[in-house]
Amino acid sequence: MMHDEVVSRLRHVLTEGEIPPGARIPERELCASFAISRTPLREALKVLAAEGLVVLLPNRGSRAAKLTRKDVKELFEVCEALEAAAGELACPRISDAQLREIAELQASMVEHYRAQDLLSYYRCNRLIHEAIVRAADNAVLAGFYESIAARIRRARFITPMSPEHWTLAIQEHEGILNALQRRDAGGLAHILRNHLRRKREEVVRAGFAEGE
């Protein structure tokens, strides 16, 4: 198995919640389940520790990182800056095909909203944001965004969504698509910032705390 694949799989295990935040990471079990030895697994753990998904306690093993309130605040602050930058860069760079793709995603997202299908809604939402970042055509930015998003995702997963927020989020997304289509970089950046700020409040309000 490729090194990057181990990192990806481990990241998936951590982000998609199979190991809850704060829990010990069972080195031996994961070795068995990935069918690799401790060496490559430990390499992957160090990489994810550098990313902030894992905390390494010297001589006491590794744990899935907990998100403190401050972490959430910091992650959202940076995410805001990155998404706004992505939006600004995407406006002049986005292709018509990419624009169509986002419009389609937007349409199905609205469908899921109508059907009150939260999970499918989240999936579309995520795909749209990722598509915007991709349209910015900046690998460094995309990497950082992925890393931030992975950490935030866990927090968002556990927050319920109030009907008002949901409606508002849909409206904001209309604005995002609109700004993209008009190639209004400044406007898009502004909307994305507000969008993120609201999401952040939502997460924080949801009484979010995994411990400090």
Partner DNA sequence: TGGAACCATTTTGAATGCAAAAATGATCTA
Partner DNA sequence: TAGATCATTTTTGCATTCAAAATGGTTCCA
- Which residues make up the interface to DNA (CB under 7 A)? 1-3, 24, 27-28, 35-40, 42-43, 56-62
Which of 15, 173, 14, 148 lies closest to 76 in space, CA to CA? 148
Distance CA 24, CA 19 (A): 8
* Chosen residue from 25, 64, 65, 82 binding its own copies by CB under 8 A: 82
Nearer to DNA by C-beta: 63 or 198? 63
Distance CA 98, CA 102 (A): 6
Coil, strand or helix at 64: strand
Structural tokens at position 69: 């309130």
* Chosen residue from 3, 24, 100, 114 binding its own copies by CB under 8 A: 3
Residue span binding its own copies (CB under 8 A) among the ranges 40-48, 103-111, 121-129, 168-176? 40-48
* Chosen residue from 19, 51, 199, 202 binding its own copies by CB under 8 A: 51
Nearer to its own copies by C-beta: 121 or 195? 195
Which single residue is written with the structure tokens 């389609």?
Answer: 104
Residue span binding its own copies (CB under 8 A) among the ranges 18-26, 70-78, 114-122, 156-164? 70-78
Structural tokens at position 117: 């299908």
16 binds, among its own copies, DNA, none (CB under 5 to 8 A by kind): none
- Residue 133 near residue 83 (C-beta atoms within 8 A): yes
